[in-house]
Chain A
Amino acid sequence: MNLAFQDIRHHLGRFVATSVVVGLLFAVVLAMSGIYQGLVDDATVLVHRVNADLWVVQQGTRGPFADPSRLDPSLELRVAAVPGVQSARAFTTQVLQRDRGGRQLRFALVGLSFPEDRGEELDVVQGHAIRQAHGELLADASLGVAIGERLRLGRDEYSVVGLTRQLLASGGDAVVFATGADAQAILADDSSDALIAERERRLARLRDTDLGRSQPALEGLVVDPRWTFPAVAAPPIHAVLVNAAPARLDEVRDTLARWSDVTVWTRAEEERLVLQGMVEKARMQLGVFAAILVITSSLLLAAVLYNLTLEKTHDVAVLKLLGARATRIMALVVEQAWATAILGYAVALALGSQAFPYFPRRVVLTETSVVGVGVLLLVVSTLASVAGVAYAIRVDPGPVLES
């Protein structure tokens, strides 16, 4: 006869309630580790998906995400000419917020260097990659826009032609892709001070030229970033993404590193910069909180399980008078603790898989955290039952005779 099973069956309601509470507690632990992992994943997903071997940014910066980085567009061609480079792509990124039907659309706009880069590698889950030089957008599904939807950005309307999934910028905002030229046009209309200043600079430079003075009508054109005007610098790009033949990657990197106007980061370095720059504090905060939660939950679980043993003092004493061996008494305590932990774990996993997709930020359950929480539950319940067993073994059967 399995005494633990009999006890559980007789107190089924209490057992289930205890396990559900344990499950809830550890679902929160699971959520914390998932939110932590989600933050890390989200922060690096863009760097990951654009799949560049090297990130060439403005000299001395940790751009383009952690630091602003401004580069002359001509850099794209200079880099492309380096022996060993397979592709060089201009990259721009900027977080924008636009009102849309009373709802705030907040997203990171990334310019692709069309036509070489049409966003085909970004994992378009619905619709298609960018096909035309102007007017098409790829948006992340988390932005809540649909295929075919038209968005007014800057002076033009753009239509959403493709949706990506879980493609976020390091701040957690959905990423929207446009061709480089479109991105520049949209950014140019952004009211941010930097862009106003940039426009002012262009006008000033135009007015410095004879042509500008004689043809005031050109002023309308020169502030449109799609026009490059020989006398006026083109709008800056934020990075050049480089892919190189694997065998020549080091060589390319060494070459670029010698250039005085740029800094080169490998993909791993860029990921680390994003994590350090944008989420390090949040990450540490979450980590500390998760640790506190784990400790609290473990202590609570241990207390609950130990209490279950204390409640059995009388029954343990009776079993001893019947001559029960220590193993039978241990089994009663340990098996019940494990049963509680196992059902609690199942509840935590079930709850997690049902609820986490509805969280506003992504919750990523890695194998490590799922297994880790399971192991934690097993260890804590075992330790608690060791304490319980130590107590049960010392129970004096004497008082039972008289009580």
Chain B
Amino acid sequence: MEALRAEGLEKRYGEGETEVWALRGVDLLLQSGKVVALLGPSGAGKSTLIKVLGLVTHADRGDLWMNGERVLEGGRPVADVGELRRSHLGFVFQKANLIPFLNARKNVEVACEIGERYSPGKRAAELLAYLGVGHRADAYPSMLSGGEQQRVAIARALANGPSLILADEPTAALDRDRGRAVMDLLRRVAHEQGTAVVVVTHDHRALDVFDATYEMEDGRLSGPNLAA
């Protein structure tokens, strides 16, 4: 099933001398239940693409559909961004960005409350257990390791059963083994929950977890290269 379709996305920062084309006509089709990698050198426009797909940054041009619903038309949002974030989108960042004054369970619960789809207490307990951090539910972020924080962050991204998870270098702050474990989890999420997952990464050792990879260079996207 088609989770996301993007056509002709263009994004330019600055003007004149400082003008940078971060996206130069990006087309992309993401299927539910697949996890894909977004590779490319620094400055290639990967983060910009994630932000445009996540409706955090406005594109200058292009069209976007989520679950068949038109979201961007000529670069302009034509849907309720808040509603899309609540029900269709999940973000995972390089840093976990958990809310420091909420424990792990409450960090997930608050996302459930905002999404208003599942009963928060039950959903949070299930997700934390699913991601292997059920025993850390009462811990505050400052007491969690980087890997544990990232698992809680993934649980939070899953809180409202999103159709698309956007992850920008989610393992950059983790060591190899923990990074690998998080990548495996994202793959599991895609395959078991039927979510489309896009992961920006530099880590070429973990490429085997992806169903497909895209390469980005200078604002242009190439791919998909299907996994062997």
Contacts and interface: CB of A to CB of B under 8 A. Distances in A.
Interface in B199-213: none
Interface in B52-93: 54, 56-57, 82-87, 89, 91, 93
Interface stretch (A40-48, A62-70, A191-199, A316-324): A316-324
Nearest to B83: A323
Interface stretch (A5-13, A223-231, A362-370): A5-13
A402 B47 contact: yes
Given A398-B51, A401-B56, A402-B168, A323 B97 contact: no
B140 interface: yes
B97 A6 contact: no
B135 to A, nearest CB: 21
B102 interface: yes
A322 B81 CA distance: 11
A1 B47 contact: no
Contacts of A134: none
A194 B197 CA distance: 101
A10 B140 contact: yes
B101 A7 contact: yes
B144 interface: no
A322 B114 contact: yes
B91 A323 contact: no
Interface size classification for chain A: 20 to 34
A323 B87 CA distance: 9
A394 interface: no
A306 B106 CA distance: 25
A323 B93 contact: no
Given A1-B106, A1-B110, A401-B51, A314 B97 contact: yes
Contact of B100 (A315, A323, A398): A315
Contacts of A318: 97-99
B97 A325 contact: no
Contact of A6 (B82, B86, B102, B115): B102
A283 interface: no
A328 to B, nearest CB: 7
Interface string A1-24: 101001101110000000000000
A318 B168 CA distance: 15
A122 B82 CA distance: 71
Contacts of A282: none
A323 B101 contact: no
B111 interface: yes
A401 B168 contact: yes
Interface string A154-191: 00000000000000000000000000000000000000
A138 B177 CA distance: 90
A11 B91 CA distance: 27
A323 B115 contact: yes
A403 interface: yes
Nearest to A396: B56
Contact of B93 (A320, A325, A328, A400): A400
Contacts of B168: 401-402
Contact of B94 (A3, A322, A402): A402
A73 interface: no
A397 interface: yes
B224 to A, nearest CB: 23
Contact of A323 (B50, B86, B106): B86
Contact of A401 (B47, B86, B87, B109): B47
A401 B50 CA distance: 9
A9 to B, nearest CB: 8
A1 B115 contact: no
B220 interface: no
Interface string B174-193: 00000000000000000000
Contact of A398 (B57, B111, B140): B57
A10 B101 contact: yes
Contacts of B97: 314, 318, 400, 403
A54 B94 CA distance: 84
19 contacts: A1-B113, A3-B110, A6-B102, A6-B106, A10-B100, A315-B99, A315-B100, A319-B99, A319-B114, A321-B85, A322-B156, A323-B85, A323-B89, A325-B82, A400-B93, A401-B50, A401-B51, A401-B168, A402-B94
Interface of B: 47, 50-51, 54, 56-57, 82-87, 89, 91, 93-95, 97-102, 106, 109-111, 113-115, 120, 140, 156, 168
Closest 3 CB pairs of A and B: A323-B85, A323-B86, A10-B101
Given A323-B85, A403-B97, 19 more contacts: A6-B106, A7-B101, A9-B101, A314-B97, A315-B100, A321-B56, A321-B85, A322-B114, A323-B84, A323-B86, A323-B87, A323-B89, A324-B114, A328-B114, A401-B54, A401-B56, A401-B168, A403-B93, A403-B94
